[in-house]
Amino acid sequence: MNALDLLLSEGEDENVVAAAMAFLDSVKSDSEPPTDSTDNNSPSTSQKPKRKRNSKPGYSTEQGRRKKEEVLALRAQVEGLEAWLEHLKRTQQRVSALTRKACSCPKANRQTATKAMEAFQKRQRSEGINRKLKAALASQATVGKAVLAIIQQTMTLEVSGRRPYSIGSNRSLSNPTCAYPLAQDRDFVFCRPEQLAETYENAGVLAQLRDGARGLYMNLSTAVPQLPATAYCSTMAPTIHPIRGKMFESSTVCSVPCSMKFASDALWLEYSTPRKYANKSYRYMDLVGADSVKKSFDLLLQSKRGEISMNGLMFATRFEDEARVSIVRDYVAFLPTAGLHMRCNHWTIVTPGDADHDCHLHFYVQMFAETTPGFLAAPQDVSYVQEIALEAWSTKMHAYSQLLHDHLEINSL
């Protein structure tokens, strides 16, 4: 333990300093040589010169000098420590005052400050997200403009001057008359159809579909091939009609272990109830009496060359006889081509089986393309509809018939 630690531990600053000063005074008085009045009055002593002291100072003198230096150093350190102590006291007082002031603030003020900070941080995050969304929107708008420019350059059909649609012209599509010039090296690009008010809410079109459904029922025996009820078949193939041109036909004959009434009621419920599909949405589906339904839908077909979007209308009617229950559906699907659309005639025939709880089903579908007086499609577009669109839609309907058969078999068990 050094002298400074001793001073600080004992806490007797004033006594130590006084003792040190007294010690210095005593050392100073001891180091001065004593003076004698007799020696000063003696002439012999004053005449003799003092000899230079060659010997080193004694031990007591050297020790006194070191103690004096140590005391002076300790005094300087004590003064510095006292000044630092005063500084710490003043700092502690200021900190205590600030702490008391903070503790004296109401709790509501602190909560308000916390909420304000949270709101500020939330606003900063919102501004950052808003900037990112604006940048993404600007990028999407740029891409959309570029795609629109490409579509406008590749479009080959005029969409202005459309006439109201009229179904049933049955013009042959083998050699259609094209009134629109088309470059031979450019393919038609199907885009998503625009909103056609005359298509979705056209009472005349629905009336023609209703009459068409009745005609399908009247021509059932001649239009639908009569196959053995006990045979199972599932076929789909293209054919050439003398008036309609190229046409796709699909037929599915099967048996289910349930009564004819159960099967017909289940199928009618399926046809008259809107379902959720990934690529199909309904604009409306309304019952017309107890045995008829009409609907408007949007459909996105997956074809060999990509996606095909179309808008469609359908009218279905159920006819119950003693020997069978027939459900006929008449479809029309509108495409973005002027004066060109697709038709679908669908028969579902339920007949009783050999046993009481057994019945036979026959799904028969015909699909073909039709033109209207406003026909402006190019030969390439007609070929595309006949080869790609009709096949894609027919494949979808054929798979749907098989799905209905499986559904009935599962529910009848």
Which of the four pLDDT bands, split at 50, 70 and 90, describes residue 393?
confident
What pTM was estimated for this model as a whole?
Answer: 0.52
Query: Is 74 within the bounds of a domain?
Result: yes
Question: Does 206 share its domain with 80?
Answer: no
Number of domains observed in the structure of the chain? 2
Residue 365 inside a domain? The answer is yes
**Is there a single domain that holds both residue 209 and residue 317?**
yes
| Residue at a domain's end among 104, 121, 138 | 104
100 and 202, same domain (yes or no): no
Q: What is the pLDDT of residues 208-232, one digit of tens each?
A: 899 999 999 998 888 888 876 566 7
Q: How far apart are CA 318 and CA 363, in angstroms?
A: 14
Most confident of 13-22, 58-67, 175-184, 314-323: 314-323
Is position 184 within any domain? no
Q: Is the pLDDT of residue 248 over 50?
A: yes
Q: Which of 104-118, 228-242, 323-337, 394-408 has the lowest mean pLDDT?
A: 104-118
Average pLDDT, rounded, for the chain: 73
Domain residue limits at 387: 197-412
Claim to verify: residue 248 and residue 386 sit in the same structural domain: yes
Residue 71 belongs to a domain: yes
Q: Give yes or no: residues 82 and 226 share one domain.
A: no
Residue 396 lies in a domain: yes
In a domain, 257, yes or no: yes
Residue 160 has pLDDT above 80, yes or no: no
**Are residues 97 and 210 located together in one domain of the fold?**
no
Distance CA 298, CA 300 (A): 7
Is 204 a domain residue? yes
Both tokens assigned to 309: 């979007």
Q: What tens digit of pLDDT does each residue of 285-312 get?
A: 899 988 999 999 888 877 777 777 888 8
- Location of structure tokens 């997200």: 129
Q: By C-alpha distance, which of 212, 239, 242 is closest to 346?
A: 212
Domain presence at residue 359:
yes
What is the C-alpha separation between 394 and 389, in angstroms, rounded? 8
Which carries the bigger pLDDT value, residue 164 or residue 303? 303
- Is there a single domain that holds both residue 99 and residue 224? no
In this predicted structure, what is the pLDDT of residue 176? 35
In DSSP terms, 248 is beta-bridged to 238, 367
Is residue 201 located within the same domain as residue 100?
no
CATH number at residue 329: 3.30.530.20
Report d(CA 5, CA 74) in Å as an integer: 11
Q: Which of 71, 104, 137 is the last residue of a domain?
A: 104
